[in-house]
Chain A
Amino acid sequence: MFLRLVYESLRRQTRRKLLVTGAVMLGAAVSTVMVGIAVGIGDKISRELRSYGANLVITPEEDSLDVEIGSVDLKPATAGAYLEESSLAKIKGIFWGNNIRAFAPELPVTVLAGAQETTLVGTYFQKPLKYGNRQFTTGARATFPWWRISGAWPEDDSDNLLVGEKLAARLGIAPGASLKIAGKAYVVSGIISSGGVEDGQIIAPLHVAQTIAGRTGAVRRVFVSAITKPEDAFARRNPDSLSPRDRDRWYCSPYPQSIAYQLAEALPHSRAEQIRQVAANEGKVLSRIKGLMLLITLAALITSGLAVSAAMATAMFERRAEVGLMKALGGGQFSLSMIFITESVLLALIGGLAGFACGALLARTLGRAIFGSTLAVGPVLLPLVLTISIAVAVTGSAMAIRRAVKYDPVLALRGEG
């Protein structure tokens, strides 16, 4: 009898049911999108923040001091220690290898360009490397996305150079010119403008710098751009002082500290450090934006909850006459309430499911439009969205149901509302 009543109640008055289902669906869709955004935004903004450049740097363990003022490196090429170029591919082999977006090795040498003493930095531009059976390309183009080149990027195996715009202006060179360095003529393939020290330097493929310095296979430092999790108090602990279990947890979280630790492990005789300007601030900006989206999501959830409740209440209010009739026929308050609550739950389920599907679709589209990559709405969100939909629908109709059930059937039947 109960089921039949619920079934009948659902079948009739489709316009009203559609309205309620539509409201729940809309609310569920908005909740899905907003929760999807709130969950996914950390990762997306983190990727975006990688355009600040490298957040980690690897240097030789026993290095002497850097002596750099502005774009001029005064440290003699013979001084200090080096990293081995041959082991660089191992950077991709660390536990968080997939979080390494890019890296670029550097080898600075002091050279005479024309009559100017300047620094030539050897690096990778877009170098294909292989770790195990994995192929990847990396280099300065991905690590320093703010570099602008007029002309062409040099090939990594060529003898072409980039000249910083300030240096080029002083030397009067344009792309295509030839520049004599250490007794050999090189072709300037492009002029680099970075807004940083590179504007006064020469950037060359790594092997060119190694030949000039007379150090085959040597690298002075490696800049690494990694996707990390904002550091917290736990991240700042010293891993050697942690219990084995905590140490595993520390090691397996993508904190800048733990990635630096793993990098130093991977490369022989090296130390890896966070570049605090990038790494420390990244965490701050990220947590602000995440917090903002979380609070807005909360506000959106409350809004759609209240909106759905209002629609439910209106729909319920219209059914006083029906309730009056049921009561006159001997329906108890409890069983009457159950009928309407069951109906609300069913409508909420249908609306919630449809809303989740629409929301997931919308989140994908939004993600692609804003971030150029889809915002994945995982199926884990489905139970959450359904629970919210049901809770909202039931609380929304509860008030109206209570009033309807308490209503004097005589008044209701006479149509005096």
Chain B
Amino acid sequence: MKPGFIALAAATAAAASLAASPAFARDEVKVAGSSTALPYAKIVAEQFQKGNSKFKVIVESGGSGAGINQFCKGVGPEFIDIANSSRPIKPSELEACAAAGVKDVVEVKFGYDGIVFASDVKGPDFKFEPKDWFLALAPEVVVDGKLVANPNTKWNQINPAFPDWEIAAYIPGEKHGTREVFEEKVLGAGCKATGTLAALTAKLGDEKKAEKACLQVRKDDGGKHAVDIDGDYPETLARIDGNKTGIGVFGLFFFENNADKLRVATMGGIKPSQETIASGKYPVSRPLFYYIKKAHVGVIPGLKEYANFFVSDKVIGADGPLVENGLVPLPDAEAKAVRETVDKLTTMGAKS
């Protein structure tokens, strides 16, 4: 019993002294951020590591905001090197970055992602316009020129062509980058199209406030019409499995993998596909980014190589693995410019 205890105590002391020595040199590239960009970052990391077995890449998820927040904590091996994001970095976040010493940030747009609206595969086809979603989900809408609490409880009240289904929309929760795109491209557009924006501006006396009010989502009837999904798309799919008359918001890639369970709706008359999103015809899409901490280039082995590999034609090009997995590729000219940005590490401020 006794020698065992002494060995244990020695090991404890060793571990404790290990814990006390700070700031390890690091030989892994660390990436964190958007869960939408995660599948792509994972594929790139895997392929990159297969080709260059001397480098290691660790990819974490957590959401665009969380990734950028970690990225902006400072310079040094204990902070991440690349933040993935499904939206452009905000000026306030750049300021926070600069305040922590992260002054040189390289912004890289690597492709587009489409957001699709889908219902159970056995249901009818939907042809949506942004205003339909606004009328379904807004807390207040204009009826006969007056702003009233949203009276719509069934889809066929919005458009007689829709089925007699109770409105139950499963939309991404507030922490998702997808939510922002949904608000801006669907609710905001619908708000304007229905004239609610004008009515709200008149009521609130300020267009900025009215625009913000447009993006609110109804909470009446116990919140059963608009349900926030804080988890990932499999959760949304499970909800639609449980409620066959629900309509969910998905990423294009997730839908393509589950096309045998889901029926996708058109938006603005356009069916979402890689082609319609790349050309910009399909209205609800967003660019995907990653941000490089320039101060880490040359310090963390493999960082520059990873960044270059990511934007190379064999990765993000039309025949590359990312496109095969649902990424909508950049147009050729844009891809070329991006490659140059990464190669020269042109920082955000230095852009012409």
| A-B interaction | no
